[in-house]
Amino acid sequence: MKEFIHAARQVLEGNRPVDERKKYQVIEFLLGLVHLVFVIYFAALHVPVMVYYNIIIVIGYMSLVAVLQKTNAYFCVCAATFGEILVHSMLATILLGWDFGFMIYTVGLVPFAFYIGYTIQNFKHHILIPATTSLIVCVCYFVVKVISEQHGALLADDYPERMISLANYVNNVLDFLLLWVVAVLFALEINFMHKSLERENRSLERIANHDPLTHLLNRHSMSSYLKNAMKAAEKKRKPFCLIMADIDDFKKVNDTYGHGFGDEVLITVANILTENVRKEDYVCRWGGEEFLILIHAGEEIALQAAGRICEDVAKSVVAQGDTKVSVTVTLGVAEYHLGDSIRRLVEKADDKLYEGKRTGKNRVVF
């Protein structure tokens, strides 16, 4: 029971699709029950043709429930259901008369046809199928109406007005229930597709904005954060700093141990960078073995972060099989001052970085 409630909640929230097999099995089973009621109903009205017809249809629907357990022939099942409801409505109306309200079920077939065309995989976007079936329903509806008005009911029994009115009322209620079920199913399908599209968009956005190897921001996405930081600094006097970090002798690592091992080094360093900054700060892979860190604070906090990164990288060991290597990074720190452009600020951090490279590496230069 808990699993059913959990699954139902997932479907309602749009996090899980409606199970196609179970959906159509439930629909066919419920239609079988409705026709079982019709067996009793037509027996009470002394209409043996409709009694036998509905007995056969009940058996047919229950057989479809069993068939759906072993096959995915959803379109064939829906087409058979569609045809059966249309034939049943027409036959019952011609025999008993228009006032019994059996043709009202054909109205519910129109949205049902579009639902099938929208949800069944092989027929999605084939608007011609539901459009054609809807046209067939309309033609049948008006043909039966004309026949009923001109010739009346084939079974001219003098049924009580109260019985006719009750039958009309029940048929209308059942048809609205059919429309409601189709509408709910349609809403659940759309909700799931909408949530799926949102998840795909977030995934695509992440792919577009992040480096695929290190999962850090890429250079393009970092540019927008840099622009926002500069605007905040100019309008609200909020300080920020940039830290340019570069892995020392990375080319030698690639040449000695291969690019696969070099990738492991990049991932390890990227993780250390992320662990040593705050949630409001941003880290990106600027290019190759270079990383750029945006610190939303003044030089003191930026230098502390750079110092931690330098120490943690030096302590780390990158291992792959029997190969174990320690690497270091050199970092240049630059603080934003009014009048600086983003390009100029990056150049300042880059200049400090290469000053550190020239003076011994594995250090922070400000």
Residues assigned a catalytic role: 289
At residue 162, the 3 state secondary structure works out as helix
Q: How far apart are CA 324 and CA 310, in angstroms?
A: 19
CA angle, 229 as apex, 226 and 234 as ends, to 5°? 125
The CA distances from residue 38 to 29, 60, 97, 112, 303, in Å, are 14, 14, 16, 21, 82
Given a contact cutoff of 8 angstroms between Cβ atoms, the answer to whether 349 and 333 are in contact is yes
Q: How far apart are CA 147 and CA 139, in angstroms?
A: 12
Buried b (16+ CB within 10 A) or exposed e, 137-169: beebbeebeeebeeeebeeeeebeeeeeeebbe
At residue 290, the 3 state secondary structure works out as strand
Phi, psi angles (nearest 5°) of residue 15: -95, 0
Residue 74 is which amino acid? Y
Q: How far apart are CA 251 and CA 262, in angstroms?
A: 9
Nearest Cα to 296, choosing from 245, 342, 228, 246? 228
Phi, psi angles (nearest 5°) of residue 210: -125, 150
Q: How far apart are CA 55 and CA 38, in angstroms?
A: 9
Phi, psi angles (nearest 5°) of residue 266: -60, -45
Looking only at the bridges linking them, the beta strands covering 364-365 and 329-335 are: parallel
Phi, psi angles (nearest 5°) of residue 324: -130, 125
Q: How far apart are CA 107 and CA 104, in angstroms?
A: 5
Q: How far apart are CA 137 and CA 153, in angstroms?
A: 20
